[in-house]
Structure 1
Amino acid sequence: MSFEVDIGYTSHLGPREANEDFAGAVHAPRGEEARGLVAAISDGVSTGGGGLEAAQSTVMGLLADYFATPDTWDATVALDRVIGAQNTWLAAHNQRRQGSLTGLATLTALVLHGHRYTLAHVGDTRAWRVRADGAPAVQLTHDHALDHPDLKAQLTRAIGLDDQVRVDYEQGEVQVGDCFVLTTDGVHGVLKAAQIGEIALAGSAGQASDAMVQAALAAGTRDNATALVLRVVGLDARQLDDELFDGRRLDPPPALKVGDKLDGYVITARVADTGVHLIYQARETATRALVALKTLHPSRASDAQERAMLAHEAWLGLRVSARGEAGFVRVHERDAQASALYTVFDWHSGRTLEQIQQAGTLTPVAPVVAAAIEWARALGRLHRHGVIHRDIKPGNLHCGDDGRWRILDLGVALSGREDPAARELHAGTPSYINPEQWDGAPADAASDLFALGVTLYQWLTKRLPYGEIEPYQQARYRRDPEAPSRIRPDVPMWLDHLVRKAVARDPRQRFETAEELLLALERGASRPIAAPLATPLMQRNRAALLRIGLVVSVLFNLVLLFWLLFLPR
């Protein structure tokens, strides 16, 4: 279901001469729909008539600038930066005017994103949440005003009041049918929570906001009356914040056996135990479909970093799945009633490339090329998402019974939003890691392409281009890989050149993008690429070159010494 919100807005000046309330809502721009929606309401407080200007500039500035912040920022960070900037501007504005036409503003801002909401609040405007079950409205904010019957209009916090503003933040879960109501004190000052909840669920959001303001006027409000009603009709795919929240809230299940039940699934087999993760095959009781469940090993259940990485993997999988990208396993959204921390994937029967290689049979060249085309195409899609896989290898390339290849395991992938500790992790399988990473360079798209080249070389030749590298070794690439066509004569020369280019010691000789590799594979013999140049010894093994130079120097000096001592002059 796509993200959809029914919005209603009504404002009335009431018995006042001017309306100093202001509110609005805006969806994320095209292409960034996953960032959701931001809404805000403000009540201006004036000295000489500047209240409307303060309220209007506060709301419009927030709506205009929120989606201009980086999407890697948490909603609270983005709101804090934007609200802080508006407060600084308005405070300076008031100081310059020195009492004439000055204005302050309250602010209640709501961000709906994924399956969660983020609320920012300053002043005495309010936010309410009304559930579809008809329960009374729940007030989500606390007024920043003096607690005295005669001084309730005296604010203790407001936008523009001081050089620095302290903002209250609240985050929580959103469900389809939830109704969020933002009101000024002209509404909630005369209506009780039960009335607000009852009116909010009546008719459309527009009808509800009209009815709420009319009810406030009928109740004798003495202020401007404004209501902004947002009714959640559909939710977007879960966002990273949703997954991280579940990663902290839920515990991994204990080790499961065949026949055990977990929520709506029955375990049918244990597929893998890596010591960090457990992977099960399970059957969904409602549809009878087979799925794969991935969770943390009980020994890692309390590891906050592993929990965050599992949540990040689930979010990445949902992000790719939501766009229907071929070449990846679809991830199911976690049910809101899930009792444990786990991720559900589609189940695909078949074999990984590692299992195919263990069979010992030599695969003809044509299927190898066809598979490499699918890998390169899928990897290109991943890189266009801004994601680096970091662990391309035969065990993470799966050929289903439907004949389609899929890239598995985004557990150590980088997206720019992963936990910083995960970014520092030296992930990947040593024999497939490019030389630059052993010298301290970070993983990037080029490292994925190198790993793909190593995988292709190994499938064709049954050898690793640079030999087996142990995790505790400092990898050294002291020779160029042997040409695949010399190991396996049926490898065509165009493919020989392509594979050698993909695993070249010098990164400048390799493919720069997955699209470039894909194009070379698709063109094949019709547009062959040139063979990569041999890597100079100075670059491959500087120490060996220095040793050779030392030996030559010693021999030369010995010859010179012999000539000086023993030969006639």
Structure 2
Amino acid sequence: MLSRYDHDLRVEIGFCTETGRRRDNQDYVAACSGPLGPGSLHGLVAAVADGVGGHKGGREAAETAVRGFIEAYFASPETIGVARAAARALESINGWIAAQARVDQKLAGMATTFSALIFSRRSAYLAHVGDSRAYRLRGEDFEQLTNDHVLGRGESAHALIRAVGFEDVLRVDHASHALCLHDRFLLCSDGVHAFLRREAIRKLLAERVSPQEAAERLVAAALAAGSDDNATALVADVVDLPPADQGALSQLAAGLRIGEPPAPGEVVDDYRLERIISQGRNSRLLLATDLRNGRPLVVKFPLARVADDASRRRAFVNEAWVAGRIRSPYVGEIVEPEEGRRTQLYSVMPFYEGETLEARLARAPKIELEEGLSIATRLARAVAAHRAGVVHRDIKADNVILLKDGSLRLVDLGVCRVPRLEDFCPEDIPGTPSYMAPELFLGASGDEASDLFALGVTLYRAFARDYPYGEIEPFSTPRFGRPRPLIVKRPDLPAWINAAILRAVAADPRDRFGDVVEFAFELENGALRNIAPPATKKPLYERNPLVFWKSLSLILAFLLFLALIPRAWR
């Protein structure tokens, strides 16, 4: 089952339920999508209920809870919000089931566990009561999102203390979880989780088969493990996410305080800061551990006194906005913390294990042709974010991470120029002078041509450990003549690499490639062309050895004559 709404949010769901050794199946599972269309907030509901065993009407309670919740939720106005609509729907269903249990002897004691996930925009809202469970697999991290409402001790350790229909006033656990691409969620009854170890559940989910097949495998494994209860599993995969909304991002940024960047050893919003990875003119990056799941992350704090608060908040919005729109294995991602967790302005990113290109240049051996071409083609694909209207404006070796697995990530998109978003004030637009195109020194705000120039300088530096126009000091006004040929620094490289990179760093934008894609094509196919090396004047020794030796002999004779003159005057 593939459900899609809000244009880009896609959640693929599969579920399975089996009676097992019981006489009948008192579990109920369902998933339903709300209205399609831009701005729709109702989203998609997935729910599992397990009728309380030993009571009449267990199956009726489970089915009523799921079906009634879905109908009541989608009947709610979107203006009240997802969480409030879910709470109202579950309260009404609880009241109806509790009333039926009192007035109908055939349904006396009817009650059910209930766990639901509502996928809306970029969040999953969880409503839970009882001992059914919800799990989330995110990369290698596997987390149980719910707590069992049971006694937990003695012979009645598994006896429920909360369920839909038990009381007129229902106590429900509510939570909101930010979605990440490729998150996998599991809802299951105790007929599954009570008979499978946590690690067994994780391994089955991590096999990454389709949600339907994963649900069927979980149920089959529980039954094979001796489950004597009904077994139900629902698996949901987040296939795609909608882009972050500019208004919501701006509102979030406006509500976050800006303070001094913390130091290693401090804990901020359950992120334990381990060590400083880097500190530039605009931000401090720290390696952190998420104390909620143990995951290593990188937290970036803006530095004070670099730009005004409005510019720092705009950088935060830019980075989050771009992260929601560019899906590239070569561009750094942003991790969105759970709703309400962040109390100050910072960004959270995955921890990419590797080193920056600048760090790679500081050690031996030098970058050879094969390694350099691999970096060049991947980096060109990363910069091709121009197709989404994004201009990076700070491409440099320090912002390129070379991962241990051989891949690459272009990071630090906080100062990028994006469509339909307000740009920075000219004085707040950063740039590293040695990577800046000539037009930027004249007041241009940056475009695809200037990004192409910075990409060319980065690749020139990767091979030569130098800059094509020399290192440019901050606050200087450089003059751009002819760039120094790359093969002067690296005569072992082929001429076509020299030609391609020198064209990318041409002082006049009109002399550069038409776009980054054309440059990438040249890098990938340049070896097929027979480009003659640039003409250089041969020394006299090679052009005419006889004239060379005659001239040298004449010079030596003249020097000897000068040396003998003082003796002749004695």
TM-score where L is the length of structure 2: 0.52
In structure 2, C-alpha distance between the alignment counterparts of 1:276 and 1:507, rounded to whole Å = 28
Aligned counterpart in structure 2 of residue 376 of structure 1, from 380, 383, 398: 380
CA distance, structure 1, for counterparts of residue 254 and residue 299 of structure 2? 19
Counterpart in the other structure of 1:329 = 332
Structure 1 residue aligned with 2:400, among 397, 401, 408? 397
Matched, 1:290 2:296: yes
User: Which residue matches 2:515?
Assistant: 513
In structure 2, relative to structure 1, the CA distance for the partners of 1:486 and 1:252 (3 Å cut) is: same
Aligned runs of 1:267-282 on 2, under 5 Å? 267-274=273-280, 276-282=282-288
Aligned to 2:37, which of 27, 34, 44? 27
Partner deviation per Cα, 1:495-530 (whole Å, 9 max, x = no partner)? 111111111223222111111111111112213568
- Alpha-carbon RMSD across the aligned residues, in angstroms, is 3.8
Contact kept? 2:415, 2:430, Cα under 8 Å: yes
**Residue deviations 1:265-285, cap 9 Å, x none?**
221112233353221111122
Q: 1:504 to 1:420 in 2, by over 3 A?
A: closer
Give the structure 1 partner of residue 454 of structure 2. 451
Over 3 Å counting, the alpha-carbon distance change for 1:418 and 1:457 in structure 2 is same
Q: Distance in 2 between the 1:496 and 1:431 partners?
A: 19
Of the candidates 405, 414, 420, which is equivalent to residue 411 of structure 1?
414
CA distance in 1, matches of 2:241, 2:449: 36
Instruction: State the match for 1:344 in structure 2.
Output: 348
* 1:339-382 deviation per Cα after TM superposition (whole angstroms, max 9, x unaligned): 222211000121111111222542212211111011111111x1
1:121-520 alignment runs, 5 A limit: 130-134=84-88, 236-252=242-258, 254-274=260-280, 276-299=282-305, 303-320=309-326, 323=327, 325-338=328-341, 339-359=343-363, 361-380=365-384, 382-422=385-425, 425-478=428-481, 480-520=482-522
C-alpha contact 2:6 2:40 (8 A) present in aligned 1 = no
The answer to whether the 8 A contact 1:383-1:445 is kept is yes
Where 1:134 maps in the other structure, the secondary structure is helix
Change (3 A) 1:301 1:449: closer
For residue 332 of structure 1, give the secondary structure of its aligned residue in structure 2.
coil
Q: Which residue of 2 aligns with 1:81?
A: none
1:295 is matched by which residue type in structure 2?
F
What is the DSSP-based 3-state SS (H/G/I as helix, E as strand, rest coil) of the residue aligned with 1:27?
coil
1:203-237 deviation per Cα after TM superposition (whole angstroms, max 9, x unaligned): xxxxxxxxxxxxxxxxxxxxxxxxxxxxxx99845
For 1:402, give the aligned amino acid: D
User: Aligned in 2, Cα 1:242/1:2: closer, same or farther, shift over 3 Å?
Assistant: farther
Given that 1:391 and 1:412 are in contact with CA atoms closer than 8 Å, whether structure 2 keeps it comes out as yes
Q: Is the 8 A contact 2:393 2:451 kept in 1?
A: yes
Secondary structure at 2:288's aligned position in 1? Answer: strand
Larger deviation, residues 297-306 vs 483-492: 297-306
Paired residue type of 2:520:
L
Where do 5+ consecutive residues of structure 2 fail to align? 8-34, 43-76, 92-120, 127-168, 170-237, 537-570
Q: Which runs of 5+ in 1 are unaligned?
A: 6-24, 29-35, 40-124, 138-172, 179-197, 199-232, 535-569
Partners of 2:307 and 2:506 lie apart in 1 by 41
Output the amino acid matched with 1:340: Q
How many Å apart are 1:337 and its aligned residue? 1.5
Say whether the 8 Å CA contact 2:392–2:413 is kept in structure 1: yes
- Deviation of 1:326 after TM superposition, in Å, equals 1.0
Evaluate the alpha carbon distance shift between residue 134 and residue 356 of structure 1 in structure 2; reply closer, same or farther with a 3 A threshold.
same
Q: Which residue is equivalent to 1:121?
A: none
Q: How far off is 1:290 after superposition?
A: 0.7
Which residue identity lines up with residue 445 of structure 1 in the other structure? E
Render the CA deviation track for 1:534-553: whole Å, top value 9, x for unaligned: 9xxxxxxxxxxxxxxxxxxx
Give the aligned residue type for 1:27. Answer: G
What's the secondary structure of 2:349's corresponding residue? strand
Q: How far 1:263 moved relative to its partner?
A: 2.2
Distance 1:388 1:530, change over 3 A: farther
1 CA distance for matches of 2:463 and 2:122? 51
1:300 and 1:362 mapped to 2: Cα distance?
Answer: 35
C-alpha distance in structure 2 between counterparts of 1:505 and 1:533, whole Å: 20
Please give the alpha-carbon distance, in whole angstroms, between the structure 2 residues aligned to 1:355 and 1:174: 36
Aligned counterparts of 2:123 and 2:526: Cα–Cα separation in 1: 52
Alpha-carbon distance between aligned partners in 2 of 1:269 and 1:493, rounded to the nearest angstrom: 43
Change (3 A) 1:319 1:419: same
Q: Deviations over 1:476-503 (max 9, x none)?
A: 113x122222322101111111111111
Query: One-letter code of the match for 2:405?
Result: D
**Of residues 520, 526, 529 in structure 1, which corresponds to 2:528?**
526
Looking at structure 2, the residues matched to 176 and 400 of structure 1 have their Cα atoms a distance apart, in angstroms, of 31
Q: Distance in 1 between matches of 2:386 and 2:416?
A: 11
Q: Give 1:467 deviation, angstroms.
A: 1.3
Relative distance call for 1:175 and 1:354 in structure 2 (3 A) is closer
Amino acid corresponding to residue 87 of structure 2 in structure 1: D
Residues 129-171 of structure 1 deviation map (CA, whole Å, 9 limit, x = unaligned): 544233999xxxxxxxxxxxxxxxxxxxxxxxxxxxxxxxxxx
Cα 1:372/1:275, change in 2 over 3 Å: closer
Distance 1:440 1:265, change over 3 A: closer
